[in-house]
Structure 1
C-alpha cells in the first residue's frame, strides 16, 4: 500500500518534522499546507523519509504526488504535549508481540495516547503475576510485551496509559478489602456481576494500596500515566463500616491523592455516562473523558455532553468513548456513515472519540478485547477524518472557541447563514435537515454544516443512509464596510484542505455559493481579510 505518514503522532516546535513515503518509487512533489495556505514545497527524488524542518505550532496538511498518485497526511505541531487527547487502545500482550502495527496506527491516526487495556494481573494486584500470566479473564500477558509496546508508542510520540479500575477487587482479594465495601440497600456489596466487588475509592487503606500499585507499575513497566476506570455506580452508598459515601467526592479525593504521589503522570478518569463530570472535570487530572450510554443516544445528546464538559473543565481536552456497536449489526457502509456522523458531531464541538486501536481494530464493546476488525472502507474513513481533524486543529479544539449560533444566525440577526433549495437548515440535529452551527475562532467565524438530509433518525449508533446530494448552499454574510469577506471551505470527503470560494457583494451582504456538503462541511469566514485597523 502506498501511503504518506508522519514519523511521530505530534511534533514540538523544536523538532525536525519528518514524513515517510511508503510503497512509492520515483520522483514526486511534496507540499505543505496550513489552513489552506501553502507553506512550502519540495521535489522528492528518492522517496523515503523527508524532512520539513521546524514548524510553528498548528495543524498542517501534507500532500505528495507524482502526477498519477496523490497521497495525504497531517502534521500537528504543539508547544505542549498535554493539550490534546487523541485516544487509542491496545489489548494484545501475548509473548513476542510485534509492536509495529500498533505504532503505524499511532502515526497514521496521530494518536497522542494509547490505553493499555487489561494489562494487569488482577484489578487489586497489578503486578502479582510475575513476568508471564493470564489476566483476570484468561487473556495471556507477557510483561516483556507490555514494556516493548510501551517503549514503541512512546518513541512514536504517544503516551502509554495503563488501565486501572479505581475501586474493583476480585474474589481472591476480597477478604482483605471487604470492610471498605460499598453496600446497596439490602446490605450487599455493589459488584460487577460476580466478577468484581466495589470498595470506597477514598477509603484510606485502599487508597494507600492503590497509589502504591500505580507507582510500582510506573517503575516496573514504564507507563506515562493511567486510565482510571469506574463503572458508573453506585453514586451514593453506605460503607460497610456505616459511613455514608458520596462516590463523586471519593473519586475527586482519589484523583488528587494519586496526583500527589505521581505528579508527572498523565491521568485520565472515566466519567461513565457523564457521572460525575461536574466534579471530576475540575480534578487534578489531564483530560475529561466520558463513556456514553443510554440516554445519550442521539447526535444532539453527544453535543450536549461535550458542551457541558467544556463548560466544566476549563481548558482540558475532551474525549468521548462512543462505542460503535453498529458494526455488529449493519453492513460496513451503513456503519461507516454512522461513525462519520459521530465524528462530525464530536470534532465540530471540540471533542475527540476513543475508537481506533491495535493495527486494524475499532471498539464495539466496553470489553475492549471484543473489538472489531475494520474493513478497508472503515480504515480509509478513519484515516481521512483523523487527518482532517488534525489539519484543522486550530479551528476545532482551541479552548477559546465559542458557540455564537444564536447571536449571528437566523432572520433576526441576519449576520450569516446558509440556505439550500432542497433542504431545511436547523440549529439542532434534525433528521432530514442540515444541522448548522456557528463558532468564533482566532482565525475567523466557522460554520459547521452536518448534512442529515437523507436520514431517518439522529441516533449516533444506528445504521445511516447514503448522504444525498442536496445541491449547492447559499452563504449570506453581512460585510464590514470596505471589505469583502474571504470564505474558505473544506470537507473530509470532498476538498480535505481549505479552498477559497468567490464572493460577490449584494448591498450590505456578501453572497457565496458553497459546494454540496458531504456528511460534514467546514466553512471559514474572515470578515476583514485585509486586516482590521
Structure 2
C-alpha cells in the first residue's frame, strides 16, 4: 500500500507519499500520471518509507509504485488544490464514536486512503438545543457516551491529514428539557400538535430571531470549545409549511435560506453544509451562503436516473460542489458482491454527473441507515473497491467535478448529430438509465469531450439501493468521432476497476470520422477525446 500524507494539498504544501508496501525492490519508482500523461518518476529506495515529491501544478494525479519491470505494485491519488477554483471538492465521510481514549489511527488512515476532505461529527452534542450543556463527558440525547477530549482529538486528527471537521447540528430540533423555552415557536400540524421526530424532538421555526440568535451562539461556542472547522446543518424534510401557535404561516422553503444566511453572518469563517432532505428545498437553499449543495435522497428518488436528475438540478442551481447522501442499506441485507455492485452503479452515476457520495467513515464503516450510529462494518473487499473508485475520482477530478463541465449528449450524440457516439455488438445504448442498456453521457470539459459509459446490460431494474448482478457482457464497443479537418484526436479510456488511469487506444480514420475499439466495458468507463493544440 502507498498513502498520500494528506487528503488534498495546497500548492505550496510538500507532497509526501508513505510507502507501506513490503515488496519494494531495487529499481522501484513512484510514477505520477495526470490524465493519461506520465509527468514524473521518482526513485524509491528499498529502505525508504516516505517519499517527497517536488511541487506539482494544481490538478488530480494518480501515483503508482512500480517495480523495475514497470508493473504496478500499489497505487493512490493526490490532488493539488487550484486556488483559482471558487469551491474545493467535498469528499465527505463521518464519525460517531467519541468514547474516552478512542484510538484514531483507523479513522485517519481511512481519510488518507479515500482522500476524504471533510468529516461529519454526527450526534456529538449534549442536546440538540443545548450543544455544550453536558460538561466534558456526557451521554447524548440517545444515551451514547461523548468525551469532549476525544472530539477535540478528532478535530486535530482531521487537520493533521488536511481534512476539515464539521459538527452536526439540527437547525430546529428541541428536546423535552428545553421545550418550555421555545414552545411558542413550535411548528404545528393540522391537528394543532407540534411536529416531532420520534418522541424526543419537537420542531420550531428555524429563522425566528431569538431561536436563530441562540442557535448561532451555540455554534460559535462549539467552535471555541471543540475547534470545529464548520457545521453540518440538518433538517428532516418536513414540514414544508406549518403554522405557529399564534397562527403565523411558516414557509420552510423561505425560512431555511434565512437560517443559513443567519448562521453564515454569525460564523463567517466556518465551513457550512445544509441538508436538503429529498431535494427540499434545494431550489431556494442552493445559492444560500454555504460551501456545498448536499442532498439526502429517499423515495421517490429510487433509481439511478433519479440520482442523475437530482445532481443535474443541484449543479445548475448552486454553482457549488454537490454531495449526495445515498445510504446503501443493501449492505445490511444482501450478499456482499451484490451490494458492492449496487455501490459501483451508484458511484458511477454520481461521479459521472459531477457529484460525490457520502457513504463511508470511521475506520471503514458504511451508512446503511439515517441514524449514523447504526452504521455497518465494511468488508475488506468493499474498502478496497472504494479506494480504487475514490482514487479514480481524485485523479480525474478535472474531467468529472468542475462547474464548467456541461452535458452535451443531446447536441453531439445519436443519428441527427453524429458527432460522437458508441455502439456495442451485444447491448443497445441509451441516453437514459434504462435496464438492459449501456447508459451513455457526453460532457464538454476543459480537456476535451468525455464519454461516460455505465453498464446496465444485466440490470433488470436500476434501483440504486438494491442487490445488483455482475455487469453484463456488452460485446465489442466501437467509438466514432467526427474529424475536425485533418486533425485526428487522441482517445484515452479509463476504468476504476481496471488500470485506474486513462490509457490510449488505437485510432483509425474512416471517411469523416475517427474510430476506436474500446476495451471490454465493466461497470463504468470514461473515454476522453482529446485534440492537439
Conserved 8 A contact 2:426-2:476: no
Q: Show CA shifts across 1:189-240 (max 9, x none).
A: 0000211000000111111110000000000000000000000000100012
2:338 matched residue in structure 1: 334
Distance 2:25 2:138 in 1: 49
1:21 matched residue in structure 2: 19
Distance 1:26 1:429 in 2: 46
Once the two structures are TM-superposed, the CA of residue 23 in structure 1 deviates from its matched residue by: 4.0
2:148 matched residue in structure 1: 143
Instruction: Describe how 1:308-387 pairs up with structure 2 within 5 A.
Output: 308-314=313-319, 316-387=320-391
Q: Which moved more, 1:353-362 or 1:79-88?
A: 79-88
1:132 matched residue in structure 2: 137
Once the two structures are TM-superposed, the CA of residue 185 in structure 1 deviates from its matched residue by: 1.0
Q: Show CA shifts across 1:324-354 (max 9, x none).
A: 0101110100000000000000000000000
1:223 matched residue in structure 2: 228
Once the two structures are TM-superposed, the CA of residue 65 in structure 1 deviates from its matched residue by: 2.4
Distance 1:48 1:108 in 2: 16
Instruction: Tell me, yes or no, if structure 1 residue 209 matches structure 2 residue 214.
Output: yes
TM-score where L is the length of structure 2: 0.97
1:289 matched residue in structure 2: 294
Which residue, out of 109, 112, 117, partners 1:112?
117
Instruction: Tell me, yes or no, if structure 1 residue 442 matches structure 2 residue 446.
Output: yes
Distance 1:355 1:43 in 2: 36
Once the two structures are TM-superposed, the CA of residue 26 in structure 1 deviates from its matched residue by: 4.1
1:157 matched residue in structure 2: 162
Q: Show CA shifts across 1:243-294 (max 9, x none).
A: 1100121111111011111100000000000000000001011100000000
Q: List runs of 5+ in structure 1 lacking aligned partners.
A: none
Instruction: Tell me, yes or no, if structure 1 residue 302 matches structure 2 residue 307.
Output: yes
Once the two structures are TM-superposed, the CA of residue 69 in structure 1 deviates from its matched residue by: 6.2
Instruction: Describe how 1:165-184 pairs up with structure 2 within 5 A.
Output: 165-184=170-189
Conserved 8 A contact 2:338-2:468: yes
Instruction: Tell me, yes or no, if structure 1 residue 75 matches structure 2 residue 78.
Output: yes
2:56 matched residue in structure 1: 55
Distance 2:344 2:372 in 1: 21
Once the two structures are TM-superposed, the CA of residue 482 in structure 1 deviates from its matched residue by: 1.2
Indicate the RMSD between aligned Cα atoms, in angstroms: 1.0
Conserved 8 A contact 2:293-2:314: yes
Q: Which moved more, 1:351-360 or 1:235-244?
A: 235-244
Distance 1:364 1:300 in 2: 21
Distance 2:136 2:255 in 1: 33
Conserved 8 A contact 1:103-1:153: yes
Which residue, out of 511, 514, 517, partners 1:513?
517
1:472 matched residue in structure 2: 476
Distance 1:431 1:186 in 2: 44
1:238 matched residue in structure 2: 243
Conserved 8 A contact 2:2-2:21: no
Q: Secondary structure in 2 aligned to 1:264? A: coil
Once the two structures are TM-superposed, the CA of residue 42 in structure 1 deviates from its matched residue by: 1.3
Instruction: Tell me, yes or no, if structure 1 residue 417 matches structure 2 residue 421.
Output: yes
Q: Which moved more, 1:495-504 or 1:225-234?
A: 495-504
Q: Show CA shifts across 1:57-91 (max 9, x none).
A: 10000000235761000001103494211000000
Conserved 8 A contact 2:123-2:140: yes
Which residue, out of 158, 174, 189, partners 2:194?
189
Conserved 8 A contact 1:471-1:515: no
Once the two structures are TM-superposed, the CA of residue 523 in structure 1 deviates from its matched residue by: 0.2
Once the two structures are TM-superposed, the CA of residue 469 in structure 1 deviates from its matched residue by: 2.5
1:40 matched residue in structure 2: 40
Once the two structures are TM-superposed, the CA of residue 241 in structure 1 deviates from its matched residue by: 2.2
Q: Show CA shifts across 1:358-393 (max 9, x none).
A: 001010000000001001111111000000000000
Instruction: Tell me, yes or no, if structure 1 residue 30 matches structure 2 residue 30.
Output: yes
Conserved 8 A contact 2:426-2:473: no
Distance 1:22 1:386 in 2: 19
Q: List runs of 5+ in structure 2 lacking aligned partners.
A: none
Conserved 8 A contact 2:436-2:458: yes
Q: Secondary structure in 2 aligned to 1:470? A: coil
Distance 1:306 1:119 in 2: 29
Distance 1:290 1:235 in 2: 16
Conserved 8 A contact 1:26-1:47: no
Conserved 8 A contact 1:33-1:62: yes
Once the two structures are TM-superposed, the CA of residue 471 in structure 1 deviates from its matched residue by: 2.6
Distance 1:373 1:217 in 2: 30
Across the two proteins, how many residue pairs are aligned to each other?
526
Structure 2 vs 1, CA of residues 47 and 470 (structure 1 numbering), >3 Å: closer, same or farther?
Answer: farther
Once the two structures are TM-superposed, the CA of residue 54 in structure 1 deviates from its matched residue by: 1.0
Distance 1:343 1:273 in 2: 18
Instruction: Tell me, yes or no, if structure 1 residue 459 matches structure 2 residue 463.
Output: yes
